[in-house]
Amino acid sequence: MRKMRLLCQGMMLAMCVLIVAWSNGVAADCKGLPTQAELQALLVAAPDCADCTALIISGGNTVGGLFNGTRMWGAVVNRDSEVCAFATSTADPTQAWPGSQAIAKAKAYTANAFNLDVSPRLSTARLYTFAQPGHSLFGLNNSNPFDPGFLAPPDGQGGGKNHIVGGIITFGGGVPLYNANGQIIGGLGVSGDTACADHDIAKRVRDLAGLNPPEGPLVDDITYSSADVASPFTHPLCPTTYRNGISLGNEAPAIGY
């Protein structure tokens, strides 16, 4: 009887270990994706981005926005949408907007969720118009809410690593990630400035990491109705908007209220 009781206790302990391991997501496959340290280094390098020759058309490297892309949260998910890494570009994490942690994770989830190995390539910026009132995907933002239980204090542990945190964001800052064979392996989300600056930083981080789509780094670039041919993929300007080092102007002031 005592042996049976000890056997049962051992089995229960083993089951508990398996449950804890599963709940912590230890099996998440993040191969080929940036680690937390690598992601932070990429975020720090992105505003100057001396190596982003394919992205900086004018020879300048200005990102624009409010902080020139220097106060960012970044997050990476794998193809299963599990969080692999998240970090800030600031040495002190509290000096990037705390609210941007959730947005960066949701952008990474969105970019991975709405892309395949085949075209079209959809950065989150390209979903903007589709999700507006009167358009075909209005309400998309409410389809998969972010789980706030997977937030971490800026300098704390946890934060949903190895979990699927969800969230849908339909403005600039999220891009899909591809391996050298042209297969999608996850998504990157960046937040901490204007949506336009977020997109430019995300695009630069992806380029520096060598995880561009097979057609190149600009295939899913942000487009603006004031600077490009208007289409369902266009995004509004933001304060101090730059794209690939070229100034495009500012968001229009509010009228009528």
Q: Give per-residue pLDDT as tens, 140-163.
A: 999 999 999 999 887 667 888 999
Closest CA to 129 of 225, 253, 254: 225
Q: How confident is the model at residue 58 (pLDDT cuts 50, 70, 90)?
A: low
Rounded Cα gap, residues 157 and 20, in angstroms: 16
CA distances 51 to 54, 89, 138, 142, Å, are 8, 18, 38, 38
Determine the Cα angle at 199 with ends 225 and 100, to 5°: 120
Give the architecture (CATH level 2) of 31-249. Answer: 2-Layer Sandwich (3.30)
Instruction: Give the pair of three-digit tokens for residue 86.
Output: 């998240």
Q: Let me know if 23 is exposed, middle or buried by CB neighbors in 10 A (0-12, 13-18, 19+).
A: exposed
Percentage, residues of the chain above pLDDT 90: 73
Higher pLDDT, 63 or 16: 63
pLDDT bucket at 79, cuts 50 / 70 / 90: very high
Domain extents in the chain: 1-29, 31-249
Q: What is the C-alpha to C-alpha distance for residues 30 and 49, in angstroms, rounded to an integer?
A: 25
pTM of the full structure: 0.88
pLDDT of 137 > 90? The answer is: yes
Note the pLDDT of residue 26.
57
pLDDT at 226 exceeding the cut of 90: no
